Structure 1
Amino acid sequence: MFSSSVKARLLASGVLVLAALGGPAWAEPAPYLDPRPSVEDRVDDLLGRMSLDDKLGQMTQPERRFVTPEEITRYGIGSVLSSGGSAPSPNRAEKWADMYDGLQRAALAGPLRVPIMYGVDAVHGHNTVVGATIFPHNIGLGASRDADLVREIGAATAEEMAATGVDWDFAPCVCVVRNDRWGRTYESFGEVPALAARMTTAIEGLQGEELGGAASVLATAKHFVGDGGTEGGRDRGDAQISEKELRAVHLPPFRAAVARGVGSVMISYSSWNGQKMHRHRYLINDVLKGELGFTGIVVSDYKGIDRIDGRPGFTRDEVASAINAGIDVAMVPTEWRRFIRYLRDEVVGGRVPMSRIDDANRRILTKKFELGLFERPFADRAYLKTVGGAEHRELARRAVAESQVLLKNDADVLPLDDEDKIFVAGRSADDIGMQSGGWTITWQGEPGPITPGTTILDGVRKAADPSATVAYSRDGKGVDESYDAAIAVVGEKPYAEYHGDRTGGLGLDAEDLKTIDRLRGAGVPVIVVLVSGRPMDIAAQLPRWDALVAAWLPGTEGAGVADVLYGDADPTGRLPVTWMRDAGQQPINQGDGKKPLFPFGFGLTYDD
């Protein structure tokens, strides 16, 4: 039935196969394919069967657009990723599952049948998938102070990911933001290490009680380490701080993540006192793997190895220095073949020891066995009903309500009465894309109806009595003194990473200020709802506003904002960062002696 060469290959791999014709063909199962031995024994057995090329393939992570199924089989690729906005067409959960299963079949067609892992940045829900539930960004969750809520959100995200087959989440970001000019400020839970460490419950939600559950995905603590402490708040910049400060401020959340069993850690683009993290052997190998006892996968950031010497592309020296520093999986989206070639040359030439290659593969394969990928390699379509489902959207709505921070409430203008005549204005009032921010469907995010959800305006209309008037004008035109109050929903346009760095002013733009002025001109109480990824420079305008609510970036469930505005939920959020008096105070943090507009931990309630 089989040629002698095919039989030899089957026997060498120890795989039980079904012949396409003529019934079953039997080979003695290899121990690593038997779920009964320990993970350690299975890894040992598989490692003993792998060639150098097999091992290099496992350490290589291309982007989905730049690798074919045939290449996954031929090179033994270990994992694939979707970068921000990279999705199948049409962008629907079912199509993701089809794509994942197709790539997985290609991996399983290899002689050793080692499954791939598939990674995405699901940083506030399964946020690249149209129709998925989009939760508040981390800064809002930090305001909630609710670690149990964050665990629930992690579990809900894992279910929606399981539906698509995606099993590796490049989240949570456990950075500690120390300068709000940083374009990743909203990816941080807050400015103090204890708060970021507390919210590592997200890991438990994503991974479950242990890896391998029905909806269990590999979590990633990122970005190791100090990315929130760079000079000027520049993304991918240099943290010019002492080791004492690095350890006191930026390391504790990673220590907490390792204690919670996080499966992977991503290295930061940034530097520490001039040395790139992607080649920092002391911090990766000695501190993370040695001192903290991390046994999982260390993964580079997107093209992170390319940036070690500051020039485009990567060299053999950059590859060797990154792998020797302790990086196990290289995110090399486009030039992955060259990465394999260079790394092979460095191993053969003795510049990267084989022990380092074996250590990386042991870490990778251990997580694949623990995830149960050898037994259950395909998407679990039973979870498709959870993608954007009512239960998850209700959880997101609750998270939005808990994240609202009431900063000003003169004359108790809030909560609104559901019979009040309300005028709503602002470019973020009726825009899912604006209220969701970056990392929503696309990398940078964008305004508009980019995915299903409830806008803040929708939420206000639903919270109001059916007989009450709720008028809307984006620019505020049409408001008059007949209204009981006006709500201005203003803030920042979507952005991500370095695109969001703000080295100049941190104020509202002219359109937002003009809208608020129109509302004020009507002589009615003005409530400003600030949709932003960080504190804004609003001290000069604040005296002319009757109320101010920091809504952060709430995601798709804008009804949670309305719940607080109308008193259906109490404002319980507390500032996760210090609110500057003016942009010139940046960086400003708890305990630095500067006088803020609002201190870390501030937040009013309706009882106040």
Structure 2
Amino acid sequence: MRHRPPQDALPDRRPSRRRVAGALLAAAATALGVAPAPGASVAATGPGAATAAHHRSAPYLDARLPVERLVADLLGRMTLQEKVGQMTQAERGSVDADRSRITDLALGSLLSGGGSAPTPNTPEAWADMVDAYQERALATRLHIPLLYGIDSVHGDGNLVGATVFPHDIALGATRDPALVREVEHVTAADTRATGPQWVFAPCLCVARDDRWGRTYESFGEDPALVERMETAIDGFQGTRPGDLARPDRVLATAKHFAGDGDTVYGTSTTGTCTLDQGVTVTDHAHFAKVDLAPYVPAVRRHRVGSIMPSYSSVRWTDVPGSTPVKMSADRELLTGFLKERNGFDGFLISDWEAVHQLPGDFPAQVRTAVDAGMDMFMGPYSAPQFEQALTAEVEAGRVPVSRIDDAVRRILRAKFRLGLFEHPCTDRTGIPSIGSPAHRAVARRAVAASQVLLRNRHRTLPLSPSARIHVAGADADDLGNQSGGWTVTWQGRSGDTIPGTTILEGIRQHAAHVTCSADASAPTAGHDVGIVVVGETPYAEGVGDVGNGHTLELSAADRANIDRVCAAIRTCVVLDVAGRPQIVTDRLPRTDAFVMSWLPGSEGGGVADVLFGKRPFTGRLPVSWPRSEAQEPVNAGDPRYDPLFPCGYGLTTHRRHR
């Protein structure tokens, strides 16, 4: 076990933010000329507090009223500048040096991009940071709290010491919706205990081409499987009225609407990617069946609170003369499909500077996206320019005030449902559970359930604990590699980046006689079993697209390790630690057992649990496994479907009797 760093240098966990919040409540009530009702909203003094004194009543401060009444009352008090501020999200790095900018811009939201963390990267430091930003938001005239968003896509991977779960593709392999719900409940609890109340997850993309660098963010290639795994939303948000306001729940984001997993190879508009941010070339029937299908239950059944439109575009093959339209500009889908046809009452948040990819100058880009239905704009370092542009567009009559009111109403609704007006500061009671044995046990079960056994000649697995084992491969003892992208930093990195258990350490928990050599150069004589761990190094998004320095082929070092170990030791087991299938067609016959281990995260012991029969193999492929890279895209239902392993394939074993 790689232990968490010492805690003796952490800041004192004093209730200073709670005392501040209480004082702010009294100040707000005084400024508004009312006495706060029981459970009333926390607010703040600030430069505009005196101007609010003429209000003789403030229903939005009374948490006993229905949410829609609270929203309507607050919206009716807001100026255009304040409304535009609510539609603006900035990166924390753009305001950290001068936090008064939060107040001056009346910002509605902040986010931490991948790797944007406080120093030190501890739970207490996160909570202190978010609460300090919140104080500046509460210093605005109407004391509207911030909504803080973060990419908790496989656990709170931004926080060193949090439990890092398998990525979504591995969770899709479990075929276990209840387990997925449990995983995301832990993620929600860890995230909110440190301040953020909103996660940019889960990804409901349907991955139709494994060359895509975001394949591991998808639950699989089958839209029906993706729909089954939408219990992730329930894990984040809860299912009962009032759950969102709990200290162990967060607002979820279904992303990336829609078709980002179904783009055509080589159609990117960025000049660097080959599938990411590309074009989905499709007809309406296919798009509805594959790409839109997961969003219907996400909205209607799971009541997801926010949706993030994709960078990608759609070109209709059944519409003569159709040209690609960026999703951020597609009113038919954003407003027509989501809001009008399916009754989505949450809000749409743009992806990182996505509006900048639309045609025209910046005011035209803003106008187009707002008219299409975008409600909040992730402009990490362009928040002032966005607010200026949108305000000018409204004042010129090019964007109707009714569209602004609709957007702000949706954002405020989420904030009231989250209980942010009553409790804007971080409830830190969940901090002791972060990285706890109970949370890690959930992750270890998820890892074991996700392992897919693709070959098991002569019933090689499960292994005997008394076997003399030689382990080879750089991925065997590398927490960074087994966690992948979106781990501490955006792209992730190799090495000892997080606390956890490597696959090698997990094997040593089960077997007494284990040797290891990263390059398979150590002597192999006298061993009963060779275990070769192959795979990918970390990447995220389009950086991982095949063609951007990446390939589905095994590396030369991995192929050499398989050749050496499988030739020297009678029983040879290969584990593939990767975010997508790799090409193993020529090496598979040399193995006795082959396991797809995906990206297990911090709990490599779960891999060893199935190798040694503590838990059975039950995982099934969530995507088709290609025979060659040239065979991609290959998906179940294709004409002449002939993958190496079909989607849904997976051998099973029984638990070893002790």
TM-score category (smaller protein): over 0.9
1:308 to 358, 379, 384: 358
| Residue 266 of structure 1: aligned partner | 308
Deviations 1:326-360 (A, max 9, x none): 00000000011000000011101111110000000
Q: For the residues of structure 2 that align with 1:18 and 1:501, how far apart are their CA atoms?
A: 47
Asked if 1:578 is matched to 2:608, the reply is no
1:329 to 376, 381, 386: 376
Residues 222 and 15 (structure 1), Cα distance of their counterparts in 2 relative to 1, 3 Å cut: farther
Residues 441 and 422 (structure 1), Cα distance of their counterparts in 2 relative to 1, 3 Å cut: same
Deviations 1:129-173 (A, max 9, x none): 000100000000000000000100111011101211110100000
Q: For the residues of structure 2 that align with 1:236 and 1:437, how far apart are their CA atoms?
A: 20
1:218 to 251, 261, 275: 251
Q: For the residues of structure 2 that align with 1:197 and 1:18, how far apart are their CA atoms?
A: 42
Q: For the residues of structure 2 that align with 1:469 and 1:164, how far apart are their CA atoms?
A: 41
Asked if 1:137 is matched to 2:167, the reply is yes
Question: Which consecutive residues of structure 2, in runs of 5 or more, have no partner in the other structure?
Answer: 1-26, 37-42, 47-52, 266-273, 316-323
Asked if 1:246 is matched to 2:290, the reply is no
1:469 counterpart letter in structure 2: H
| Residue 40 of structure 2: aligned partner | none
**TM-score normalised by L of structure 2:** 0.88
How far is 1:292 from its partner? 1.4
2:520 counterpart letter in structure 1: G
1:257 to 291, 294, 298: 298
| Residue 394 of structure 2: aligned partner | 347
1:234 counterpart letter in structure 2: L
| Residue 23 of structure 1: aligned partner | none
Residues 156-555 of structure 1: pairs in structure 2 closer than 5 A: 156-209=186-239, 210-232=243-265, 234-259=275-300, 260-273=302-315, 274-309=324-359, 315-464=362-511, 468-503=512-547, 505-555=551-601
1:599 counterpart letter in structure 2: P
How far is 1:77 from its partner? 0.4
| Residue 558 of structure 1: aligned partner | 604
Q: Any conservation in 1 of the 2:29–2:35 contact (CA below 8 Å)?
A: no
Q: For the residues of structure 2 that align with 1:302 and 1:256, how far apart are their CA atoms?
A: 26
How far is 1:213 from its partner? 2.2
Residues 114 and 15 (structure 1), Cα distance of their counterparts in 2 relative to 1, 3 Å cut: farther
Secondary structure of 2:477's counterpart equals: coil
Q: For the residues of structure 2 that align with 1:154 and 1:340, how far apart are their CA atoms?
A: 34
Taking only the aligned residue pairs, the percentage that are identical comes to: 51
Secondary structure of 1:150's counterpart equals: helix
How far is 1:581 from its partner? 1.2
Corresponding pairs, count: 592
1:485 counterpart letter in structure 2: V
Q: For the residues of structure 2 that align with 1:505 and 1:32, how far apart are their CA atoms?
A: 55
1:46 to 71, 74, 91: 74
Secondary structure of 1:231's counterpart equals: coil
Residues 148 and 543 (structure 1), Cα distance of their counterparts in 2 relative to 1, 3 Å cut: same
Q: Any conservation in 1 of the 2:44–2:135 contact (CA below 8 Å)?
A: no
2:472 counterpart letter in structure 1: A
How far is 1:13 from its partner? 8.0
1:517 counterpart letter in structure 2: D
Q: Any conservation in 1 of the 2:32–2:56 contact (CA below 8 Å)?
A: no
Secondary structure of 2:533's counterpart equals: strand
**TM-score normalised by L of structure 1:** 0.95
How far is 1:395 from its partner? 0.1
How far is 1:606 from its partner? 2.1
2:313 counterpart letter in structure 1: S
How far is 1:29 from its partner? 5.3
Residues 193 and 166 (structure 1), Cα distance of their counterparts in 2 relative to 1, 3 Å cut: same
1:590 to 636, 642, 656: 636
Secondary structure of 1:488's counterpart equals: strand
Question: Which consecutive residues of structure 1, in runs of 5 or more, have no partner in the other structure?
Answer: 1-6, 21-25
Q: For the residues of structure 2 that align with 1:124 and 1:9, how far apart are their CA atoms?
A: 41
Q: For the residues of structure 1 that align with 2:166 and 2:29, how far apart are their CA atoms?
A: 50
Deviations 1:19-65 (A, max 9, x none): 99xxxxx9955110111111111111101110000000000000000
Q: Segments of 4+ in structure 1 off by > 3 A?
A: 7-20, 26-29
How far is 1:479 from its partner? 3.4
